[in-house]
Amino acid sequence: MEKPDMDRRLKINQIAAAAASVIALATAAPASAALVLGTQPGDPYLPGLGMVHNNGTQSSNVVTGTLNSAGDVTYASPSNLNTNGNGFAQVNGPFSQIQVLPTAAAFAIGAINWSLNLNQGQGGTALPAFLNISVFPTVGAPEFLNGIALSTGENRFSLFDNSGATFSSVLFNIVAANHTTPEDIDSLRQVEIGTASPVGVGTRGGGVPEPTSWTMMIVGFMGMGAALRARRRLTVTG
């Protein structure tokens, strides 16, 4: 996929995520019961998923990896991204938003494992910090899992849809405790993807904000968009 097409696809998904988030939060609709998120300490990754390996391709805010013979996987962000060389792909920031998607829609994401690394040192992530996930099914409207607490160091997750649905992409946003300020983190690591959803696997704990947080979350998505646009303008003019 050419970079202009990828940029358009990323921008469309980001706009859809922001708009759908505001609608969903304004109506206080809970996240889909079909989405299954693994968040517990020591929770094992979903078995049998393929490792995404770095293929050496990167350009400013886009890094490309390869999922075995299934095809390429793109990591895209408004922030600059870098890889850590060959092997099991690690995408370095700092960044507060990153999207994972098949580069040429050669396959769909049936399940995904990943790790986010938070650095709480000088200039690093302030706690508490939270992860908001926007999932784009191959069929149907976007779905959301919001207000997932993050801790210092490695934060491991797994995600799939228990109804068997697959995803065209997954978008991660990291925000501060007020749900209005984007919060930078160090890296996305250990991404594994399966092309089929493991239907029938038991559910694990997820995270959805309390009703009193809906208004703050709505304002937050607007504030995040403004902050990301400002950051991009600074990058271009700098």
Encode pLDDT of 15-71 as tens digits: 444 444 443 333 333 445 589 998 755 566 788 899 998 877 778 899 988 998 889
Peptide bond into 4 cis (omega under 30): no
d(CA 66, CA 83): 13
Q: What is the pLDDT of residue 200?
A: 58
- What is d(CA 12, CA 145) in angstroms, rounded to the nearest whole number? 19
pLDDT of residue 106: 79
pTM of the model: 0.74
Residues 202-212, mean pLDDT to the nearest whole number: 41
- Which is it for the CA torsion 54, 183, 223, 19, positive or negative? positive
Bridge partners of 147, per DSSP, are none
What pLDDT sits at residue 33? 57
Which strand (E) or helix (H) includes residue 143?
strand 143-150
Give residue 16's region: left, alpha or beta (phi > 0; psi -120 to 50).
alpha
Tokens of 144: 């959301």
pLDDT at 54: 82
Greatest pairwise CA separation for the chain in angstroms: 50
Domain count across the chain: 1
b/e sequence 32-57, b meaning 16+ C-beta within 10 Å: bebbbbbbeeeeebbeebbbbbbeee
Per the structure, the complete domain to which residue 196 belongs is given by 3-237
Q: What is the pLDDT of residues 96-115, one digit of tens each?
A: 999 999 987 779 999 999 99
Q: Which pLDDT belongs to residue 143?
A: 94
pLDDT at 121: 56
Cis amide leading into 30 (omega within 30) = no
